[in-house]
Amino acid sequence: MAHSDEDSSKGTLDNRVICLGVTGSIAAYKSADLTSELRRQGAEVFVVMTRAAREFVGSSTFQTLSRNPVTEELWNEGDGWQPGHIELADKTDLLLVAPATAHSIAQFANGLAGDALTSIYLATTAKVMLAPAMNGKMYQHPATQDNLSKLRERDHLLVDPEEGELACGYEGVGRMASVDSIVAAVLAALA
């Protein structure tokens, strides 16, 4: 028997707005499943993609799964008089960046706002959660670890990467956490 998303919704994230930042990692494809699961849990999901993310997955995928427009550029119109990145920053309950690349983590840690996602990051007062995904050597690099420490000091939540085979062929820590692990962290953060 067929059923709608509404029939299967657990409702645990009802009335919650999640801004899902998708950055340029092969793990970006997993964010499509993450979008679906967050919606199934009742959240309204707005996806913001970096230019690099669009090298891995198209925005139409996220628009269809989220049932909302996807923010791809800083200079979008928004729904009203406010700039789009401010409008989204103001209405979100959680800024979730999954995957969070070494580059995006460095931008957040150092307050750089060169695109829509990093501008939303600086403009929001919502909770911030990151799910790092990168090569293990990049993850273990002192610069990346310093940047993650800065973000932890700001009370940002991190969903640690998993160990296993990485897209580059190496084994090690750096694979984005599972969708189930990320959703569990979101549920705990917004409880």
Quick: pLDDT tens for 119-160: 999 999 999 999 999 999 999 999 999 999 999 999 999 999
pLDDT of residue 3: 39
What CATH number is attached to the domain comprising 165? 3.40.50.1950
Bridge partners for 184 per DSSP: none
pTM of the complete model: 0.91
Verify whether residue 168 is a known catalytic residue: yes
Q: What is the spatial distance between Cα 125 and Cα 78, in angstroms, rounded to a whole number?
A: 19
- 3 lies in a domain? no
Over residues 93-124, the pLDDT tens digits come to 999 999 999 999 999 999 999 999 999 999 99
Count of residues making up the chain? 191
Name the helix (H) or strand (E) containing 160: none
Give a yes or no: residue 52 inside a domain. Answer: yes
Tens digits of residue pLDDT in 52-82: 999 999 999 999 999 999 999 887 655 666 7
User: Could you list the residue range(s) of the whole structural domain that residue 174 is in?
Assistant: 11-189
Residue 114 lies in a domain: yes
Q: Is the residue at 4 inside a domain? A: no
Mean pLDDT rounded to a whole number for the chain: 91
Residue 160, CA distances (Å) to 18, 87, 125, 163 in order: 19, 29, 22, 10
Catalytic residue among 143, 168, 184, 188: 168
| 1, part of any domain | no
Q: What total number of domains does the chain contain?
A: 1
